Structure 1
């Protein structure tokens, strides 16, 4: 009777271990994967933030494309931090908890700007 419990426990442990290892690989692959994000971007002297309209998550923005901040500035806002609708290709990295980015879900590293618009489309972004 006792050996059945040991065998069952061993099988359960092995399955748990394999499942955990498989999930870590998927998570690591997703971190470096480029994705398309749509949402609201705000830019100013101290904040560069993005809010994903579908999930409501807020990200710090790193503009590796060097176009996002320029396109935002070219829209000619009188005040900073006015939200605009953007569509970008980016990848997500963990935010550094010892800096201002630590208060955000992750840091969104923009690799390509697809769209920047003052017009916020109807739907979850416009609520």
Structure 2
């Protein structure tokens, strides 16, 4: 009987350790890794899009930093949707297929605007 209790206690302790290890792994995978994206950003009443110049992929943009749309507006364009070159820290999430964002490859969540310019640099962005 004593051996049975010891075995049961060891099994319970093992399960407890496994549960603790799995919980730490799920927290690590839940963290979003930031990348620096470089490309063309267009903004207007119905569109907030980013085109990655290297891959040509188009993303819907969420401005979580609340600086991208303001910086775009401060450039003083007469017409909306004029593309500008940006570099931004961001992460990507899956687009909601039931909204306008579903038409895009993914959604780019901007966490920090690094650069915005009317001048589009030479290279793949300027083709």
Q: TM-score, normalised by structure 1?
A: 0.76
Secondary structure, in 3 states, of the residue corresponding to 1:87? strand
Secondary structure, in 3 states, of the residue corresponding to 1:72? helix
Structure 2 distance, partners of 1:105, 1:45, is: 20
* Matching residue of 1:33: 33
Q: Which portions of structure 1, spanning 4 or more consecutive aligned residues, are displaced by more than 2 angstroms?
A: 28-31
Are the aligned partners of 1:92 and 1:109 in contact in 2 as well (CA < 8 Å)? yes
* Matching residue of 1:123: 123
* Matching residue of 2:42: 42
1:51 aligns with 2:51: yes
Per-residue CA distance 1:25-70 (angstroms, 9 max, x = gap)? 9xx9598210000000000000000000000000000000000000
Structure 2 distance, partners of 1:83, 1:53, is: 12
* Matching residue of 1:97: 97
Are the aligned partners of 1:88 and 1:113 in contact in 2 as well (CA < 8 Å)? yes
Structure 1 residues 41 and 102, CA, compared in 2 at 3 Å: closer, same or farther? same
Secondary structure, in 3 states, of the residue corresponding to 1:102? helix
Gap regions ≥5 residues in structure 1: 1-24
Structure 1 residues 69 and 117, CA, compared in 2 at 3 Å: closer, same or farther? same
What's the RMSD between the two structures over aligned residues? 1.7
1:63 aligns with 2:63: yes
Gap regions ≥5 residues in structure 2: 1-24
Larger Rg: 2
Aligned length in residues: 101
Structure 1 residues 48 and 29, CA, compared in 2 at 3 Å: closer, same or farther? same
Structure 1 residues 48 and 104, CA, compared in 2 at 3 Å: closer, same or farther? same
Structure 1 residues 30 and 87, CA, compared in 2 at 3 Å: closer, same or farther? farther
